[in-house]
Structure 1
Amino acid sequence: MTGCGWSACGASVTGAMHQQRGLGCDDAYSYGVAGDFVVAAVADGAGSVSGTSAWGAYVACQSVLGDALQPTFIESYRKATAEHAQKLLRWLFDGALQRVQRHAHATGLDVALLSTTLCVAVANWDKAVFGQVGDGVIAAENDEQIESLLIERKDEYANTTTFIQSDHALDESLRTAVCTDVTAFALSTDGMSYKITDIATGDAYQPFFRGCWQHLRSGAGSTSFAAMLAGIEDDQTGDDKTMVLAALRDVGDRAGVVITESSPPPQAGAPNPVDSEGRTDPLPAAGTDAPTEPLSTKPAQRHWWGRRQRR
């Protein structure tokens, strides 16, 4: 697969409702590409604490990006089995929560004021692992088929969700899936759910994702993608819109170049939210991995695996 690698782009657009109320964007995103390796994250700060929650979303995405691009993490992921890949993903979520808690302490805020959802994807050529806490959207392309993953099943209150700061969220509400032969994926906050999924079932609206990945493979970047997101109207929510796209394609001479991008911090002059000391807890060690459960009832030869944990 000489010259083949991941291309990615991302964008975050302040929703119409936020603009009308004079509020900024509470979403955040980040991604990093290193040849055959890609990491991406999107986060949606709680609207009930608009403004401060934007910092929770930003810190969480920055934490995922910094931890996943460490050489030791990339090496471990390339060697990982499906079960170990899920443990590595959980380590990224643990780090995101720890750093959000540290930022709350450093700024004198209650950690609940930084409440945020979080979607993460890590992939190379042979496998991809996805994780989610909250109500974002994850779509993946495999064998030219597109499928929604890790759909959050709502209780009787459709406008509620779980945040990474919620009690026992990473133990009870973190949903993970491992897939092979993924050729493209997308992570989105819920601001475009009415436009890109069937709200009743959560199924991905395939023409939208197929078209986005085609533009990405044709060389489109974040600027044009942001313009496209800003042009989406009548989304029934007025919420912020944030998405990261990634697709395998021929990248030529850029195969060995590390590329990163992320949304800007919510405000200039604020303290650095991601501590420079890094993690003190080690990467989870590889061990005897238990088999994962099938993600869906589709034929097993498609090699889709996943696990949904109890909420």
Structure 2
Amino acid sequence: MTWKHLSLSVTGKSHTARNEPGQDYCRAGSLRVSDRDFFISIASDGAGSTTNGGVGAEIACESLYCQILSAIHEGKTISSVTNDEVRTWISLSREAIVARAKQDGQRVKDHACTLIGVVMTFDYALFFQIGDGCIVFGDKTGYSTVFWPEQGEYANMTYFVTDDDFLEHIRIDHKVSPPEEIAVFTDGLQNLVLSFSSRTVHDGFFRPLFAALRSEPGNGCGSLSTHLTTLLLRDDVNARSDDDKTLILAVNIPVS
């Protein structure tokens, strides 16, 4: 099987009102290497209280994506990736952020960002996360979260790749078979599509989106992407969450 996917980020009203750029970043792609199909999804949310959270988010995603690609091209199977190797990937991404901060004469914490990652093959799925945002997976019968968004001691706080104790907040999970459908999103969407009181997923949000993605002729910027962008920029959506919003959707497609 392979994966059909789309990814998008929209800038929240809290930033556009101040004429600021968005601070979310994502990278997703499907590829075939040596007759094996892979799907990679990385998303990051730069801390809104920082000056360069968006820069940190971009560096974290791009560095991690390149490390995973390198491992795949070297013949690494996802099922053989250990938790320590995942921690090494994330540590190297953090080092890339540290290097950029030093180069620019800035503090590392000015580049604070969360990190969410998914790597899947036809028979295995690897998930990891630091901070809030979420990974939702399932099929038309229902959806669940891999990790619940992790928040800090106080409201509106979470954990970041740039924290000194980041290793303590890396959550990792493995699944022997990949889900049929998967969504990755940053915290700008979590209050809209998750019920925090019951710790459940609003299936009614995801089910039609996955169905629409399956009917799209290809990946990328089709009518569904345009529809989702319009939806996430609507005033009533921004009234409930004025933060940046990143969403990655993927569905598996059997290969005949």
Residue in 2 that maps onto 1:176: 172
2:24 corresponding residue in structure 1: 27
Instruction: Mark the CA change 1:177 to 1:37 in structure 2 (over 3 Å): closer, same or farther.
Output: same
1:120 maps to which of 98, 117, 122: 117
Distance (whole Å) between structure 2 residues aligned to residue 76 and residue 210 of structure 1: 33
CA distance in 1 between counterparts of 2:20 and 2:251 reads 33
Q: Which amino acid aligns with 1:37?
A: F
Q: Secondary structure at the match of 1:48?
A: coil
Q: Which residue of 1 aligns with 2:40?
A: 39
Instruction: Tell me the C-alpha RMSD between the 2 structures.
Output: 2.2
Q: Give the Å deviation of 1:130.
A: 0.9
For residues 87 and 212 of structure 1, the distance between their equivalents in structure 2, rounded to whole angstroms, comes to: 35
1:229 is aligned to: 232
Find the counterpart in structure 1 of residue 12 from structure 2: 15
> Deviations along 1:101-132, whole A, 9 cap, x unmatched?
11112222111110100001111111111111
CA distance in 1, matches of 2:125, 2:54: 27
Aligned residues of 1:138 and 1:185 also touching (Cα < 8 A): yes
CA distance in 2, matches of 1:14, 1:251: 36
Unaligned runs of 5+ in 1: 253-311
Deviation at 1:251, TM superposition (A): 6.5
Paired residues in the alignment total 244
Q: By how many angstroms is 1:85 displaced?
A: 4.3
1:243 pairs with 223, 240, 247, which one?
Answer: 247
Percent pairwise identity: 27
Question: Is 144-153 or 100-109 further displaced after alignment?
Answer: 144-153
Q: Does 1:130 align with 2:127?
A: yes
Write the distance in 1 (CA, Å) between the matches of 2:109 and 2:60.
14
Contact 2:152/2:159 (8 A) holds in 1: no
Inter-partner Cα distance in structure 1 for 2:163 and 2:71: 31
- In the alignment, what sits opposite 2:162? 165
In structure 2, the CA distance between the partners of 1:138 and 1:230, relative to structure 1 (3 Å rule), is same
Deviations 1:210-239 (A, max 9, x none): 222212211263442433433462452300
Opposite residue 93 of structure 1, the aligned amino acid is: I
Q: CA 1:142 to 1:188, structure 2 compared with 1: closer, same or farther past 3 Å?
A: same
Give 1:92 shift: 2.4
TM-score after normalising by structure 2:
0.86
2:181 counterpart SS class: strand
CA shift digits 1:53-76 (9 cap, x unpaired): 110001111112111112546731
TM-fit CA distance, 1:31: 1.0
**Mapped contact 1:18–1:25 kept (Cα < 8 A):** yes
Three-state SS of the structure 2 residue aligned to 1:245 is strand
Mapped to 1, the partners of 2:255 and 2:245 lie a distance apart of: 28
1:73 and 1:158 map into 2 onto residues whose CA distance is: 42
**Pairing 1:68-107 to 2, within 5 Å after superposition:** 68-70=68-70, 72=72, 75-78=75-78, 80-81=79-80, 84-107=81-104
Give the Cα separation in 1 of the matches to 2:109 and 2:13.
25
Q: Tell me what 1:257 maps to.
A: none
User: Secondary structure of 1:8's partner?
Assistant: strand
Q: Which shows bigger deviation, 90-99 or 111-120? A: 90-99
Partner of residue 50, structure 2 = 49
Provide the rounded CA distance (Å) in 1 between the counterparts of 2:83 and 2:231.
Answer: 33
Alignment-mate amino acid for residue 164 of structure 2: D
Aligned to 1:309: none
Separation in structure 2 between the aligned mates of residue 214 and residue 194 of structure 1, nearest angstrom = 22
CA deviation profile, 1:225-278 (whole Å, cap 9, x unmatched): 4334334624523000011111101467xxxxxxxxxxxxxxxxxxxxxxxxxx
Whether the 8 Å contact between 2:137 and 2:143 is mirrored in structure 1 is yes
Q: Give the alignment of 1:193-204 within 5 angstroms.
A: 193-204=190-201
